[in-house]
Structure 1
Amino acid sequence: MRRVLALIPLLGTITVAAACTSTGDKPGATPSTAAPTSASAALDPTGQASPSVSAPTTIPTSAFFELPAELRKSPRRTLSVEDALPKLCANEFGTGGRQVTASAAMTVMYQSAGATAADVAQGTIHQTIFTFEGDGATAYMTRLRTALEACPTYQQFGNRATVKSKAVPGVGDEALLLTRTWPETSLNGEHTGREATSQIAVARVDTVVTVFDDQGWEGTSGNPAVVDRALREGVRTIDAWQG
């Protein structure tokens, strides 16, 4: 893998302010389709730097993974980093610190292969990308592992959700896969007696870290196969972006 980032230096440091409360979005919740009101770094479909003075360093749309047409329920769109990052016990995923040089996020709604336009979506995946200076990306992964060790469970709308993580060998320079499990509820909030699961994948590619947050449709389980595909395609896409 080549490890050169063609980025314009920031005029100022971009910090990540990710909200983190136990009453955040339910892992199965579907995000609003409204356009985000803010973003930490501009996204340019052409991959060129934005002329905006407030965001001189950009992460292009081409740096984000893209699902194949048969799995896309709707086109991907930009999302604020704060809304895209998962919320567990604390601010585990928003601790980039002063070494973050740029951050941006996109979300895409996915469906089952062979689904028709009348079928509901299967889930959504939020992808966040951070770029760091120095050893910031490695430090981020170290802090994340430590934070996750301290968060085996967390409260979510009065229910106990568990978190298990494992390394994903052979993906990027290092990668983690987290599985969240919680009591499944119906649309009216009643327990179904089953468990629902969703996954979070994190990978470092040199000085870049990407986070994928999978959320099943209306509180149902996400699709692990789609997350695995997103993770591997996302790492290859970032590697190609780095050039």
Structure 2
Amino acid sequence: MKKLAVALSATAAVAVTGCSSTGSGGTPAAGAPAATTSAVTPAATTSAGSPPSPSAARTIPASAFFAMPADMRRERRKAEGSAAVPKLCGGELAAGKGVVASAAMMSIYQSPDAPEGSVPHGILYQTIRSYDGAGAAAFMDRARDGLADCTSYRTAENTVRVRTKPLSGAADEGLTVDLVQPQLDLPGEPTGGTQTNRVVVLRFGSVVTILNDTEYERSSSDPELVDVFVEEAAEAIRGWRG
């Protein structure tokens, strides 16, 4: 895993700036469109109309995101906020008030050392939001309170159990959110197993990042890989914000 952690710190190749919306989760189909580099003008004020605080970043640069190493990356592109963050019970991870800038990236990835042509292992969305004033801390308080009441929700196919735990040491504040559901095969029939996908929420001062490690064809998250994603995401954001 140490070798992988070094590889994951490669500089992001796609420029990302500006704002995007947030909302319910989604999984792109195989063969999704190629990467784009279009930029969106960032918001210059908070949702309340007041100027952003001096500590609030007005754009989210490519250097704020980490990149999968070349031998794991299958596709990487800018993502819509509505696809990047899961809705859960009722939008517990929605942006809320005070967002100055927001952007998201999507990476379809394969396991390290997977043979060429293997089915991808998973899809990782990373969302980064910059908040004005105490907006980031307020978001974390709201997310914690909402997730405490969100123990399960229903999808079209399954009941998903939600397990939330505090995560210490990675950021000023952190949460892990495991989404656990009965395993289905591709046609949608139960296999008797369990599928678990992990979401990690981190706050660094006025910046929040959400790592949503979701399925590719019913796949579960690998906790060791997610731990590396968290380490590298934290390093990239600290390098950006200082």
Give the TM-score band, short-chain normalised.
0.7 to 0.9
CA contact (8 A) 1:84 1:105 kept: yes
Deviations 1:67-119 (A, max 9, x none): 22332233x2100111111121111111321x110000001111111112211
Show the 5 A alignment for 1:23-62.
25=26, 29-31=27-29, 33-34=32-33, 57-62=58-63
Measured at CA, do residues 241 and 54 of structure 1 come closer, stay the same or move farther in structure 2, by a change above 3 Å?
closer
Quote the residue 1:67 is aligned against.
68
For residue 124 of structure 1, what is the aligned residue in structure 2? 123
Distance in 2 (CA, whole Å) between partners of 1:78 and 1:54 is 15
CA distance in 2, matches of 1:59, 1:201: 19
In 2 relative to 1, CA 178–93 (structure 1 residues): closer, same or farther, beyond 3 Å?
same
Instruction: Report which stretch shifted further, 154-163 or 142-151.
Output: 154-163
Q: What letter matches 1:234 in structure 2?
A: A
Match of 1:88 in 2: 88
Partner of 1:18: 22
One-letter identity of the residue aligned with 2:71: E
Aligned-pair identity in percent equals: 36
Q: In the superposition, relative to structure 1, how do residues 211 and 152 fare at CA in structure 2: closer, same or farther (>3 Å)?
A: same
CA contact (8 A) 2:43 2:100 kept: no
User: How far off its partner does 1:144 sit?
Assistant: 0.2
Q: Structure 1, residues 102-161: CA drift from partner, whole Å, max 9, x if none? A: 000001111111112211100010000000111111000000001101110000114211
Superposition deviation, residue 186 in structure 1: 0.7
5+ unaligned residues in a row in structure 2: which ranges? 1-17, 45-57
Cα contact 1:88–1:154 (8 A) shared by 2: yes
Matched residue type, 1:130: R
Structure 1 alignment gaps of length 5 or more:
1-12, 38-42, 45-49
Displacement after TM superposition at 1:55 (Å): 5.3
Given that 1:30 and 1:123 are in contact with CA atoms closer than 8 Å, whether structure 2 keeps it comes out as no
Provide, for residues 23-69 of structure 1, a one-character-per-residue CA deviation record: whole Å limited to 9, x for no partner.
Answer: x63xxx445623699xxxxx78xxxxx6x656563211111012223
SS where residue 172 of structure 1 aligns? Answer: coil
Q: Distance in 2 between matches of 1:177 and 1:66?
A: 21
**Bigger relative contact order, structure 1 or 2 (CA pairs below 8 A, ≥6 apart):** 1
User: For the Cα contact (< 8 Å) 1:106–1:128, is it kept in 2?
Assistant: yes
For residues 219 and 64 of structure 2, the distance between their equivalents in structure 1, rounded to whole angstroms, comes to 29
Alignment length (residue pairs):
211
Q: Report Cα offsets for 1:178-212 as digits up to 9, x if no partner.
A: 11100111111111111110000010011100001
The residue aligned with 1:113 is 112
**In 2, Cα distance between equivalents of 1:30 and 1:183:** 21
In the superposition, relative to structure 1, how do residues 171 and 31 fare at CA in structure 2: closer, same or farther (>3 Å)? farther
SS of 2:217's partner is: helix
Verify the 8 A CA contact 1:35 1:78 in the aligned structure 2. no
1:241 aligns with: 240
* Secondary structure in structure 2 of the residue aligned to 1:183: strand
Over 3 Å counting, the alpha-carbon distance change for 1:117 and 1:206 in structure 2 is: same
Q: What are the residue-to-residue correspondences of 1:178-217 with 2, within 5 Å?
A: 178-217=177-216
Q: Which residue of 2 aligns with 1:160?
A: 159
